[in-house]
Each structure stands twice: as C-alpha cells, then as structure tokens.
Structure 1
Amino acid sequence: MNFKYPKNEKLKSKITIGLLFTEGKSVSKYPLRLVYKSGTFGEGEKIKMGVSVSKKNFKKAVDRNYFKRILRETYRLNKHLLIDNLDQPYSFMFFYQTKDRLTYEEINTKTIQLFEKFLLQIKKEI
C-alpha cells in the first residue's frame, strides 16, 4: 500500500473544482461531506482530492488549517479503500461541516464510514 499524498493527487484545477460544484454528486456522514464526479486525468491517476473547511465555522485560519491537515491525513491513510475499489477516475472535494471540534480518532472513523458509503452509492449508480 502506498500511503503518500503526492502532488498529482491534489485537486488544483479551478475548472475541475467548478465542475464538481455544478455537476458533482455528494455523500455525507456527519460532519463530513464528499462531493465527487467521475472524470479523466493523466496516465495512471485514479483520484484527485481537495479539502475545504468553512470560514463560517472556523474564523481563525489556524483552526481551519488544523482541520484541513487532519482531513488530508485521514484521506492519506484510508485512500486504499477507494483506490482498490474504483474502476474509473474520480475527483473529490472533502468538507468538514460543523463547528464541533472532533478528535482525530472520531474524524478518522467518520472518514472510513464516508468512504464505505460512497462506494455503496457508486455501485448503486452502475
């Protein structure tokens, strides 16, 4: 298993992010939300992932950056759940949607549950 979060997995394209918000579908597991859309990327790339924490919920950049770091870390450690079960490439945007300050362990278990819920949803769509 590769636990890296390399540059080619980071969602940076404004066009792709815009398409995610206009045409993407979402799945939620409180307090996390995953917006996704299938698409094509460069050779060998299966996933593009972006992370966001609302300024409305956390006014201080220090707090937003902390939760973004936690979300990236939980994604990095659990992305094998997605990569092993995806047939086509996907773009994701990962949101933390509450003012509550959950612990790393709680966010990690919610991330795993969210990924499992996402995989069930895409299997239903096929």
Structure 2
Amino acid sequence: MSFSYPKKEKLKSQKLIDRLFSEGKSISSFPLRMVYLKTDFEDHTQFKTGVSTSKRNFKNAVDRNRIKRLLRESYRLNKAVYFNNISESYALMILYISKDGTDFESVDIKMKQLLDTFSKKVSQN
C-alpha cells in the first residue's frame, strides 16, 4: 500500500455516509473519533475514508480546513503501516471532536493510536 490518498479512496457517497453513521461502530482516541463500517465497494477499493470537523466548534472555515488537511495528511502517512494485513473493505470517517486547535505532531500521535486500535479490533473479528 502506497503513501497516497487518491480520489477513489475518498468517501463521497452521501448514502454510504448516512449508512456509516446509522449502522457503523465507533472508536476514539481524543481528540479523534473514527466511525467505521464493513462494506463492499463497486470499484474494489479496500478503504474509503473521509475526514470532518464540527462547524459548531470551529466557526471559521480557515480553521476547519486546516484541521481537515492535518487529518488527511496524518492518515495518508500512517495508513500503509496499519492496513497492510487487513483483507476486508471498510468505509471510515475520522472526526475531530475537540474544541481546541492543534498541530501536526499531536494529530499524528493520536492518528497512530486510533489506527492501531482500529486494526486490532478488525483483526479480532
């Protein structure tokens, strides 16, 4: 698995996002929360991932977009390490749930913890 985050791996389907939040399971590593759902994709990708942050917590779009960029970059750098041994397909949504701003180092540490917890949960099943 490469260190890229191509368009086909991005979660864009509104129906799938709605299903993800209604039927999906959740894990947390504050300030990050991941909602995941085992599913099959028509384009045979292994993961489709989206990132989000609350407009309630960050009024300025500049702040929201910066946090989403940090989340995407951290996911992109760490996904190859944690997802190489997983064979099923999953839809993932990573949420930033804190009210405070952040920097890349702290997001990266928490993303590693979150992905580690996810890979352990998935490998148990």
Q: Taking structure 1 as the reference length, what is the TM-score of the superposition?
A: 0.94
Q: Across the two proteins, how many residue pairs are aligned to each other?
A: 125
Q: Tell me what 2:11 maps to.
A: 11
For 1:31 and 1:60, how far apart are their aligned partners in 2? 19
Q: Tell me what 1:96 maps to.
A: 96
Q: In the TM superposition, what are the counterparts of 1:34-45 in structure 2 within 5 Å?
A: 34-45=34-45
SS in 1 for 2:120: helix
Q: Does the CA-based 8 Å contact 1:33-1:96 persist in structure 2?
A: yes
Moved over 2 A (4+): none
Q: Which moved more, 1:8-17 or 1:76-85?
A: 76-85
RMSD value over aligned CA atoms? 1.1
Deviations 1:13-34, CA, capped at 9 Å, x for gaps: 0110000010000000000000
Q: In the TM superposition, what are the counterparts of 1:101-116 in structure 2 within 5 Å?
A: 101-116=101-116
Deviations 1:15-64, CA, capped at 9 Å, x for gaps: 10000010000000000000000100134410000010000110000000
Q: Does the CA-based 8 Å contact 1:11-1:50 persist in structure 2?
A: yes
Letter in structure 1 aligned against 2:49 = M
For 2:81 and 2:44, how far apart are their aligned partners in 1? 17
SS in 1 for 2:76: helix
For 2:91 and 2:55, how far apart are their aligned partners in 1? 23
Q: Taking structure 2 as the reference length, what is the TM-score of the superposition?
A: 0.95
Q: Tell me what 1:60 maps to.
A: 60
Q: Does the CA-based 8 Å contact 1:81-1:115 persist in structure 2?
A: no
Question: Any gaps of 5 or more consecutive residues in structure 1?
Answer: none
